[in-house]
A = this chain, B = another copy of it.
Amino acid sequence: MDSADATVEGAPDHSDDRMVDSVLEWTRAECERLDRDDPLSVHRLQFSLPPGLIYLDGNSLGPLPAGTAARIATAVSQEWGEGLIGSWNSAGWIGLPQRVGAKIAALVGAHDDEVVAADSTSVNLFKVLAAALQLRPDRRVILSERGNFPTDLYIAQGLIGMLGKGYRLELAEREDLERLLSPEELGLDVAVAMLTQVDYRDGSRLDMARVTAQVHEAGGVVVWDLAHSAGAFPVALNAAKADFAVGCGYKYLNGGPGAPAFLYVAREHQSRLHQPLSGWMGHAHPFDFAQEYAPEPGISRYLCGTPPVLALTALDEGLDTVLAAQPHGGLAALEAKAARLTECFIDLVEDGCSEYGMTLVTPREAQRRGNQVSFAMEAGDQAYAVVQALIARGVVGDFRAPNILRFGFAPLYLRLVDAWDAAEHVAEVLQTREWDQPRFLRRHAVT
């Protein structure tokens, strides 16, 4: 793609409240200039990205940090190979869930002792949902969103199926949440609101402080799913008085495929609640081998089985890539950069592709979206084929049923020129109908 000097005709006039200069028209040269001046640009060097690839899928699987291969090699060959069983102590394996958890805590506005890394997001959600319901024993509703990520809904369904006793899952549209929390609607029976801050399809972001306050006002507690939040922008769990949260290690935390997940329980709730996956790592004294479960007083009671050492090691290294941005303004600076990246991409795609039936479904206001831009196409099959054609060009986004093209803009390693080039690829694929080939047709979609 040789387009260093190309300009986008008819680029919109950016008003002052946008994150780029008001008179700026997006040109590739201007993107390059902004990239050069970007103090965060150095962080791209932390990743081992395939040359020439524009990777807009870090919201599904973060890329490989440059240090992970060596870090895992050390854990494998030295800690495991040479240290063997002794490494549970000498290499500190036994404390990995808490140490890695403390690093995550720093990214989600929590105390060190409020987060552990363990299990999968789904398993962690089961634990904290079960615990959360104990705080409101007289209420029976888990309120969630129709569009929540399916595994969250499935886990709630599984938990409810087990509990019986009239528990039920009520699903609402995002815009209906506040109304449903009123006393006249479900408010008086909502025990737990189980909400994902950033929607996995449209990328819209909920105001955590505001929604948490609404749920509390209605007498419920909140479980936040931070899958698309943690590591993407500042999350302030404590400041929002959030009760519980879970999140994913393999998206913006760059922990590797199927990395361990995390969970957060506010200090005030930790020791009052029981979580049913009461494995030995949650015991107050696991190596006493007592017959009776006696939970550790704090966050460690939310652990279950033996920690996955190699996977936690990779996650630990991934977290360091995000924490390394702290001297450059940390997540607040990353959020501002992501706003600019997504703004640029939205402007260019809207300008260049609207005649092809691509409709922005992500909110235009930067504060109302995560680091992701989604467009809907009228035909799902076409959306799928366009994503495949883009991947063939080296622009990796993804497709989400039924008709969504999803592009993630992880600000740690993406540049404005990537957004610019990606938008040009999208336009070219549509203009030339390059997508309309048998090899891009939908077969068995995974990811």
Known: A159-B276, A260-B308, A310-B310. 14 other contacts (CB 8 A): A48-B77, A53-B84, A72-B72, A86-B396, A93-B257, A93-B258, A119-B119, A146-B291, A153-B293, A154-B283, A158-B275, A256-B309, A257-B308, A288-B401
Give the residues in chain B near A447, CB-CB below 8 Å.
Answer: 85-86, 88-89, 287
Q: Which residues does A use to contact B, with CB under 8 Å?
A: 48, 50, 53, 55, 57, 60-61, 63-64, 68-69, 72-73, 76-77, 79-82, 84-89, 93-94, 119-123, 126, 130, 146, 150-151, 153-155, 157-159, 161-163, 171, 250, 256-261, 274-283, 286-293, 304-312, 314, 391, 396, 398, 400-401, 445-447
Q: Is the CB of B76 within 8 A of A398?
A: no
Min Cβ gap A80→B in Å is 5
Give the residues in chain B near A280, CB-CB below 8 Å.
Answer: 122, 150-151, 154
Give the residues in chain B near A311, CB-CB below 8 Å.
Answer: 258, 308, 310-311
Min Cβ gap A192→B in Å is 16
6 A-B pairs closest in CB distance: A120-B305, A122-B279, A158-B278, A151-B280, A257-B309, A122-B305
Give the residues in chain B near A72, CB-CB below 8 Å.
Answer: 72-73, 76, 310
Min Cβ gap A260→B in Å is 7
Q: Is the CB of B84 within 8 A of A287?
A: no
* A287→B89 CA distance, assembly (Å): 41
Give the residues in chain B near A87, CB-CB below 8 Å.
Answer: 257
Q: Is the CB of B50 within 8 A of A122?
A: no
Q: Is the CB of B73 within 8 A of A69?
A: yes
Q: Is the CB of B289 within 8 A of A150?
A: yes
Q: Is the CB of B279 within 8 A of A155?
A: yes
Min Cβ gap A402→B in Å is 9
Q: Which residue of B lies closest to A151 (CB)?
A: B280
11 contacts between A and B (CB under 8 A): A64-B80, A72-B72, A89-B447, A122-B281, A123-B279, A159-B276, A257-B306, A258-B306, A258-B311, A288-B401, A308-B308
Q: Is the CB of A80 within 8 A of B123?
A: no
Min Cβ gap A29→B in Å is 29
Q: Which residue of B lies closest to A257 (CB)?
A: B309
* A48→B79 CA distance, assembly (Å): 12
Min Cβ gap A49→B in Å is 8
A158-B276, A276-B159, A280-B150 known; A310-B256 Cβ under 8 A: yes
Give the residues in chain B near A84, CB-CB below 8 Å.
Answer: 50, 53, 55, 57, 61, 63, 396
Q: Is the CB of A305 within 8 A of B257?
A: no
Give the residues in chain B near A68, CB-CB below 8 Å.
Answer: 76
Min Cβ gap A444→B in Å is 8
Q: Which residue of B lies closest to A60 (CB)?
A: B85
Q: Is the CB of A283 within 8 A of B150?
A: yes
